[in-house]
Structure 1
Amino acid sequence: MTTHAVLEWRDGLPYSTQFDDVYFSASPDQPQHGLAETRHVFLQHNELPRRWQALPVDKTSHFVIVETGFGSGLNFLATLQLWRQYAPAAAHLHFLSIEIAPFTLQDLQQAHTHFPELAEFSQALCKQYRLLQPGINQLELAEFSTSLTLHIADTAQVLPELNVMADAWFLDGFSPSKNPDMWQSPLFDCMARCSRPGTTFSTFTSAGFVRRGLQGAGFHVEKKTGYGAKREMLAGQWQSTANKQPVTLPKVAVIGAGIAGSSSAWFLASLGCEVHVFERADKIANGASGNPRGMLYPRLNAEKPMNDQLALRSYSFSLRHYANLGLNPDGFKTCGLLQLGGNTREQKRVHKVAARYDHLGLLTQVDATQATTLAGVPLASDCLYFAEAAWVNPSEACQAMLAHKNIHVHLQQDIHALSRQEASWQLSTATETHAGFDAVIVANAAEAGKLLPDSGMWLNPVRGQMGMVATQAALLPLKKILCGEGYLTPVHDGMHAMGATFAAGDVDTSLREEDNQSNLNMIRNLSPQFDQAETAEVTYARAASRCGSPDYLPYVGPLLPISSLTASASPEFADLPVSKGLYVHVAHGSKGLMTAPYCAAVLARRLLGDFELPLPQLTEDTFWTGLHPQRHLFKQLGWKHLLNPFNDPMPS
């Protein structure tokens, strides 16, 4: 579970009772002492102004800072301020920080009141600082071209698995005498493994064993003048005779302009890649992503760890993502959702899920009386309440993402063949060819099976029909989304969205009156009050085919050549053939609106890592391999050991 920092406020300053130390220092005579110390120790002695001014102005460049100890976020805010002052507009800052006990939002805001000149940056951070979960949290501050990757975990847990190339290290956290567990060889070994020619570090401490540890790991270390009463500090650079190699961002083709393809394109484009999206229809979001409403909430069962992990990570990530897109009131609305325990089996699931996940702060269990008060209509069972749940207009979300300046959309392009010519990919329609792509992401749902017939993926189509009904007296009081066998939204512009039917294996998308009636019957089962809605009229309906997988997990990742896979060996993942730029992002089923943005962000960074740009990753290797598009083939070959799904639903 997420354990927040236990603070005492001494003279208005945050003090850690766990580590018996201050987060930053200040005095009536020097109210900016903590900020001045940050600038001296971390910004000046990593030579950030000079290095950022030297970044190329004509192309996207990436700068990675790794920090041990996020604390009050003061280092991050000061870095943001300096980044905006000195970095080129096209550059992107990646700030990775590890924190075992994060501040609550209220404590964070209170701490930042000491530094009014950072108010703009504090507001941007605090807007994103919500729904944090144990493990990796990604906060995007697009207005500053900055990504904050916040690991809520012990450094001893994170450092051995860290896969990134840092340009600078902020060795913060509490002093070695207060927090000796952090200042050990795993830290220094990780720094050596994750540094490149020119990587720098700085730290407020000058402890001898820290200096010797850094030197033993291969760093050139110098003693520098500390700040204020602190006589000395340490700073230095990774000792390497190799040259820092320039990185060229790949040109990427994405096939499919639904929520998976649009998200994939957007996250790559936001990292500086040129992206071309190919869609066979004459408009984007033509499939299931074209529905006017989609619900954003996690369906949990407390029995399938990998599925619950994906749902929980995607939920918090995607809520932040859609909020950042700046959609209009018709495109995104947070209104909360009540998931009903309508029968004995569902009641058991509600209680089991609440017992396992209530501590995360994403959901609470409420009884029928409480649920009735929240919903505004009578409910008859215990429910799971997701206060932050929302509905999204998927089509508008796709439009907003594909409007990125680095994305080029090509409609009425039915890609029927892929081929690799020398070092690049070629996409072919019946009449023309598109060439020169370094990588391809296939994100066209069930059509991926036709394009990649030898992929080893099992794709299951599922028909669904949703509708809209005009409000009436029985429906109007509804204040929260209700979700049971189907869903019903509160009134918006005089209408409620309802749905959706579920017909496995059915790909027919013609409208059916029996499906409208099924959705209306579903509404009446949600609340006794809705029995009065006898005259509810379906004013709009839409049917689409979703694409899923046998284990209800999406297929996300590189596609390996099957011809090179044999059942005779029991390889490790590193032993498998390397994908040459072909990736898959499909099979989200009915949860793509929530899971696709998270998976797209994960895929974008993994893809760039394959092209020699190892940015901070958004998921662990074990989780990533559990989404592999050929995982069912691996199981057939006897390679279950490659998948390593998490045993625990959430890391503690």
Structure 2
Amino acid sequence: MMNTHAVLEWREGLPYSTQFDDVYFSMSPDHPQHGLAETRHVFLQHNQLQQRWQSLPVDNPSHFVIVETGFGSGLNFLAALQLWREQAPPQAHLHFVSVEIAPFSLQDLQQAHAHFPELATVSQALCQQYRLLQPGINQLELPGFSTSLTLHIGDSAQVLPALNLKADAWFLDGFAPAKNPGMWQPFLFECMARCSRAGTTFATFTSAGFVRRGLLAAGFQVQKTAGFGTKREMLCGAWPSLEQPLPAAMPKVAVIGAGIAGCSSAWFLASLGCEVHVFERSTVASGASGNPRGMLYPRLNAEKPLNDQLALRSYSFSLRHYANLGLAEEAFKQCGLLQLGASPREYKRVHKVAARYAHLGLMRQVDATQASALAGVTLVSDCLYFAEGAWVDPVAACTAMLRHANIHLHIQQEIRTLSRQDQRWQLQSTTTQIEETFDAVIVANAADAASLLPDSGMWLNPVRGQMSMLETQPVLQNLKTILCGDGYLTPLYQGMHAMGATFAPGDPDTRVREEDNHSNLNMISRLSPEFKQLHSVKIPYARASSRCGSPDYLPYVGPLLSISLQSSTQEVTQFSDLPAPQGIYVHVAHGSKGLLTAPYCAAMLARRVLSDAGIPLPQLTEDNFWTGLHPQRLVFKQRGWKKLLNPFDDEGAA
């Protein structure tokens, strides 16, 4: 498991931090709910959350951002989530941002929550998402509560100075200043001042003089008030309530393409309150997203930090996302997955990846004997075992996302041109001009994006891939996990196994080829000695599609800027030197990994769209991560803007 979990001692049933020499919450024989009551008194009451949430607009989407220093047992989050569900209107969305250097394990979290049975419902919702956590930014979505939890696992001294958001309330928690002086430093108060808006409130259990002086020096109005229980005083206050600008309107967004990238983009925008219109030239998931099975796992190489970090973040995020969609068993199956180190090259990769990433708890290295026991068939090489690896039905996933009430689907509408008029975007299809106009457009139509955006500078490569479904055979019926070597093979489901897929760069033909079926059979025959005779198995179904890739195997995600490939003497050292985004965004080129990476990229992109529209929600990634995925990164390279292309620094992320 991840090696940054909190080291706890349980003293009289309470979690005690050995690192900070303090208890996470206190209990009293005279007041069994002491810890929860203190949370409600300090953080909920003194940020006036009940009154403020009751006054949120009922008919229009709104967002409320809480930033907490010290997630700990999650008690503050649970109390806020419970109150949010009771008091906030349905159209409102809660963003809870928390920083924690050493998170609880899931088992410790559940044990701590057992003290508060009245929080059982919200605890269960959190614990269902609280898995596969990694150092850095972890995004946990609770759509049933209209809530997003952005959990930063890291040192507050690094996390807080990099925050880019506007908070509505601050929960200054964490251990007492005497126990945890590293957090109660000037960078905390500077971050609060930078990330607060007019009327932002704060509350904290401490009344330490240097904390009060730091808040005052940063510009906050501060007052002492009665603490909870035996604590005589606490601090609360607000950022000065100067005249507030009118809140920005939620953007109306068009998404072009109803594959996994487009549907994911639409879903996350809709979940944040946007009205979204999806335009698809054919039918839902008719392109590369239309296969009956797609594998969900990260293929890591331990050599390209950005590629690996995208895969790792996407894996944990996407597993939670597909689980949130409530897909039926035939559409989402977490049966575990083994990556085989069968060739010398793959054997070396398996060991390198395990050495670098196994401590994250997402996978572990197993030998051939262990792998055979997990798989149910004979394997002869060391493997990487992903216990939560899964297969997904992409069509079912896309269909489920498009059911969101804020999404309007327009099929048989091929968009050919985009034009800007009166600060809004007009779409022209092959048959008619779309009557609706939009604040923003996300182009997610794979290789067709090149013709729709001819001046973008994107290089898009079509890659043909054919997968096949085969009827089960006796040697296949004991298979318990997905096997991945040169391709993949899934366990038995409804009498069939999925296998694939061929890989043919530059080939756009999507007709099924019998030779590709044989190629897939040959591929799986190499996965296990038991499969050697699988050459004449009946294949009742096969499907070929054209995936869209990029030269560096990373997707193109982000705003399209008004720059060209032509050389220029313009000096560009930071993004503020470039033209501002005008509302066109790109989400393409996931190659064969779209099922894994598209939901995570879509969630990032949705927040970027709202931020550009004047709604600064918490972001899900660092600025240099964005740069590495920018749709015009090729232009940046050709024009010599090296300072925009700093390599992704994953120090501490692995």
The answer to whether the superposition gives a TM-score over 0.5 is yes
Letter in 2 for 1:69: G
The reply to whether residue 113 of structure 1 matches residue 114 of structure 2 is yes
Distance across 2 between alignment mates of 1:130 and 1:649: 22
Does the 8 Å contact 1:2/1:133 carry over to 2? no
The aligned counterpart of 1:226 is: 227
The aligned counterpart of 2:302 is: 302
The reply to whether residue 592 of structure 1 matches residue 577 of structure 2 is no
The aligned counterpart of 2:403 is: 403
1:184-583 → structure 2 map (5 Å cutoff): 184-281=185-282, 283-434=283-434, 435-563=436-564, 567-568=568-569, 569-583=571-585
Does the 8 Å contact 2:47/2:203 carry over to 1? yes
Task: Name whichever of 347-356 and 638-647 sits farther off.
Answer: 638-647
The aligned counterpart of 2:611 is: 609
The aligned counterpart of 1:625 is: 627
Letter in 2 for 1:485: D
**Which SS does the other structure have where 1:416 is aligned?**
strand
Distance 1:542 1:600, change over 3 A: same
Distance across 2 between alignment mates of 1:150 and 1:571: 31
Task: Name whichever of 163-172 and 424-433 sits farther off.
Answer: 424-433
Does the 8 Å contact 2:314/2:600 carry over to 1? yes
Distance 1:189 1:414, change over 3 A: same
Letter in 1 for 2:62: S
Distance across 1 between alignment mates of 2:651 and 2:198: 39
Distance 1:203 1:565, change over 3 A: farther
**Which SS does the other structure have where 1:426 is aligned?**
strand
* CA positional deviation for 1:643: 2.4
Does the 8 Å contact 2:521/2:535 carry over to 1? no
Letter in 2 for 1:443: A
Letter in 1 for 2:419: S
Letter in 2 for 1:4: H
Distance 1:649 1:508, change over 3 A: farther
**Which SS does the other structure have where 2:599 is aligned?**
helix
Distance across 1 between alignment mates of 2:650 and 2:162: 18
The aligned counterpart of 1:35 is: 36
Does the 8 Å contact 1:309/1:649 carry over to 2? no
* CA positional deviation for 1:90: 1.1
**Which SS does the other structure have where 2:221 is aligned?**
strand
* CA positional deviation for 1:533: 2.9
Letter in 2 for 1:514: E
Does the 8 Å contact 1:15/1:21 carry over to 2? yes
Q: Gaps (5+ residues) in structure 2?
A: none
CA-to-partner distance for each residue in 1:586-613, whole Å, 9 max, x for gaps?
Answer: 0000000000000000000011000111
CA-to-partner distance for each residue in 1:434-491, whole Å, 9 max, x for gaps?
Answer: 2420000000000000101110001011000001000010111111100000100000
**Which SS does the other structure have where 2:188 is aligned?**
helix
**Which SS does the other structure have where 1:319 is aligned?**
helix
Does the 8 Å contact 2:457/2:565 carry over to 1? no
Distance across 2 between alignment mates of 1:495 and 1:574: 54
Distance across 2 between alignment mates of 1:643 and 1:471: 49
Distance across 2 between alignment mates of 1:523 and 1:378: 13
Distance across 1 between alignment mates of 2:578 and 2:3: 36
TM-score normalised by L of structure 1: 0.99
CA-to-partner distance for each residue in 1:292-314, whole Å, 9 max, x for gaps?
Answer: 00000000000000000000000
Distance across 2 between alignment mates of 1:267 and 1:218: 35
Distance across 2 between alignment mates of 1:192 and 1:379: 58
* CA positional deviation for 1:320: 0.3
Does the 8 Å contact 1:564/1:577 carry over to 2? no
* CA positional deviation for 1:640: 2.4
Task: Name whichever of 431-440 and 161-170 sits farther off.
Answer: 431-440
Does the 8 Å contact 2:292/2:394 carry over to 1? yes
1:128-207 → structure 2 map (5 Å cutoff): 128-207=129-208
Does the 8 Å contact 2:376/2:480 carry over to 1? yes
**Which SS does the other structure have where 2:300 is aligned?**
coil
Distance across 2 between alignment mates of 1:534 and 1:201: 68
* CA positional deviation for 1:432: 1.2
* CA positional deviation for 1:219: 0.3
Does the 8 Å contact 2:456/2:564 carry over to 1? no
Distance across 2 between alignment mates of 1:620 and 1:185: 22
Letter in 1 for 2:142: L
* CA positional deviation for 1:646: 1.7
* CA positional deviation for 1:534: 4.0
CA-to-partner distance for each residue in 1:155-199, whole Å, 9 max, x for gaps?
Answer: 111111100100000000000000011011100000000000110
CA-to-partner distance for each residue in 1:371-413, whole Å, 9 max, x for gaps?
Answer: 1111111011111111100000000000000110000000111
**Which SS does the other structure have where 2:66 is aligned?**
strand
Distance across 2 between alignment mates of 1:301 and 1:66: 35
Letter in 2 for 1:38: T
**Which SS does the other structure have where 2:510 is aligned?**
coil
Distance across 2 between alignment mates of 1:574 and 1:636: 19
Letter in 2 for 1:614: P
Distance across 1 between alignment mates of 2:572 and 2:166: 30
Distance across 2 between alignment mates of 1:102 and 1:83: 23
Distance across 1 between alignment mates of 2:226 and 2:280: 59
**Which SS does the other structure have where 2:474 is aligned?**
coil
* CA positional deviation for 1:244: 4.0
Does the 8 Å contact 1:2/1:152 carry over to 2? no
Does the 8 Å contact 1:219/1:237 carry over to 2? yes
* CA positional deviation for 1:650: 5.4
Distance 1:649 1:552, change over 3 A: farther
RMSD: 1.1
Distance across 2 between alignment mates of 1:600 and 1:218: 37
The aligned counterpart of 2:645 is: 643
Task: Name whichever of 636-645 and 246-255 sits farther off.
Answer: 636-645
Distance across 2 between alignment mates of 1:138 and 1:352: 27
Give the % identical residues: 75
* CA positional deviation for 1:125: 0.4
Letter in 2 for 1:638: G
Distance across 2 between alignment mates of 1:358 and 1:204: 38
Distance 1:199 1:585, change over 3 A: same
CA-to-partner distance for each residue in 1:224-276, whole Å, 9 max, x for gaps?
Answer: 10000000000000014231421210000000000000000000000000000
Distance 1:649 1:483, change over 3 A: farther
Does the 8 Å contact 2:198/2:242 carry over to 1? yes
* CA positional deviation for 1:429: 1.2
Count of residues in correspondence between the two structures: 651
Letter in 2 for 1:377: V
Letter in 2 for 1:401: M
Distance across 2 between alignment mates of 1:461 and 1:249: 35
Does the 8 Å contact 1:302/1:649 carry over to 2? no
* CA positional deviation for 1:538: 0.9
Task: Name whichever of 237-246 and 373-382 sits farther off.
Answer: 237-246
**Which SS does the other structure have where 2:47 is aligned?**
coil
Letter in 1 for 2:155: D
